[in-house]
Structure 1
Amino acid sequence: MTSKTVYLAVYPTFADWETGHTTAHLAQHGYAIRTVGPSLDPVSTMGGVRIQPDVSINDVHPGSDADVSMLILTGAELWDMGDELAPFARKAREFLAAGVPVAAMCGATAGLAREGLLDDRAHTSAAAGYLAATGYEGGRRYVDTDAVTDGDLITAGPTEPVAFAREVFGKLGVYEGEVLDAWYRLFHDSDLSAYEVLMAAEGAGVE
């Protein structure tokens, strides 16, 4: 079991449904999930859930903390309503520069596009046109698929929370190979045969 930290960005209009699979299974495998907000003030999600951030974005420094494993950025209406969330995109740049993975969904991908982080990396989002509207220069690297991993960057669209989780688990080594495939088939396709693979792996002590 690991004791490493994954930062989950939380901000007003945070899209609740996008990271439930990801954070639940990371926590079950020993990762500490710490919520990081614009400040320490409580925020309300798109679903009306009130969250008290554990830490402010200004106090997160991946290069100086060897226990940090990933930054997760979810969608939010605010990504398309101005620059209020730009500090999170800039923090993503800091994570990537430090060699720490970043995973972004939906509107967060537009934030990364505006920051120039998708210009030279394969990526996906809600739609190619959505990112093109940001004026970014990475359109040639857009991939029309459920989720994409390119080096330390993971991207996905708003309707792919299971594929997003799959990429995160694969990147962090939570599940691998046929076990990772079985996890995806169980939660995405309701394939009950995949459950047997997962239980067999758990019994053998394989993650």
Structure 2
Amino acid sequence: MKEIVHHAVYDTLADWETGHATAHLRNGSYQREPGAYEIVTVGLTTDPVVTMGGLRITPDLALDQLSPAGSALLILPGATLWDAGGELAPFARKAREFLEAGVPVAAICGATAGLAREGLLNEREHTSGAVQYLEAQEGYTGAKRYLDQDAVLDGDLITAGPTEPVAFAREIFRRLDIYRPEVLDAWFRLFSRSDPSAYEVLMAA
């Protein structure tokens, strides 16, 4: 049976931030066990949402139906709504539930601010667009754990800034251990730097 990766969806979702991760989780290329993951979308409700790029998505399930049990990962993309009030706070609370259950959470861009307000970054190494962005969030006291890196994996938490969708995907793949180390390195070199030597490694895989 395929494992399930849950992907949060909401209005103003930043389309470009999670595509590398979801596409390569689902298509199985180069994986140790090809085709092992299914992507299931989760909204506040099952009403359609519209992304920043204008794509309409109908969530597969509502947030109140989501449980860490049976989930391999929760992905939280960025969205304008993360900075527009508390509408998406329930997703940050659900992230706490996942982390407390030992199920990984991956947050990028504005979703890191949501986790900061929930207090989930104060004792974990993390990154975002800039430390000043997180310091502006009420409840955040984790600047000492902030790392100026493209993406950060600390235990079950993955974080990245808005310009690092490929590095974000890399750390998701690392946490789920879907690629052998040399394949993960080659995948990142190909998709982040167009390194032709990486293609040979992937084809051999």
Q: Which TM class, normalised by the smaller chain length?
A: over 0.9
Which residue does 1:32 correspond to in 2?
A: 38
Q: Name which of 49, 55, 60 aligns with 2:66.
A: 60
The equivalent position to 1:164 in structure 2, one of 168, 179, 203, is 168
Cα deviations by residue, 1:27-62 (Å, 9 ceiling, x for unpaired): 012211000001000000000000000000110011
Task: Give CA deviations for 1:135-186 in whole Å, capped at 9, x if unaligned.
Answer: 3110110000100000000000000000000000111111131110000000
Q: Does 1:190 align with 2:194?
A: yes
Does 1:116 find its partner at 2:134? no
2:62 is aligned with what amino acid? S
Distance 2:7 2:79 in 1: 13
| Cα distance in 2, alignment partners of residues 68 and 176 from structure 1 | 22
1-structure distance, mates of 2:7, 2:82: 16
Deviations along 1:44-89, one digit per CA (max 9) or x if unpaired, are 0000000000000110011xx2x31000000000000100000000
Query: CA separation in 2, counterparts of 1:112 and 1:68?
Result: 19
Normalised to the residue count of structure 1, the TM-score between the two structures is 0.94
Residue of structure 2 aligned with 1:93, choices 79, 91, 96: 96
1:3 aligns with 2:2: yes
After superposing on structure 2, the runs of 4+ consecutive aligned residues of structure 1 that deviate more than 3 Å are: none
Amino acid at match of 1:45: T
Letter in 2 for 1:130: Y
Q: 1: CA distance between counterparts of 2:104 and 2:71?
A: 9
| From 47, 57, 62, the counterpart of 1:41 | 47
Q: Out of 108, 125, 142, which is 1:105 matched to?
A: 108
**Partner residue, 1:17:** 16
> How large is the Cα RMSD of the aligned pairs?
0.8
Structure 1: tracts of 5 or more residues without a match: 202-207
5+ residue gaps, structure 2, are 29-34
Q: Distance in 1 between matches of 2:166 and 2:20?
A: 7
User: 1:82 and 2:85 equivalent?
Assistant: yes
Alignment of 1:113-152 (within 5 A): 113-135=116-138, 136-152=140-156
Aligned length: 197
- Aligned equivalents of 1:183 and 1:61: distance in 2? 31
CA distance in 2, matches of 1:137, 1:92: 18
- Aligned mates of 1:60, 1:68 — CA distance in 2: 9
Q: Distance in 2 between matches of 1:200 and 1:50?
A: 38
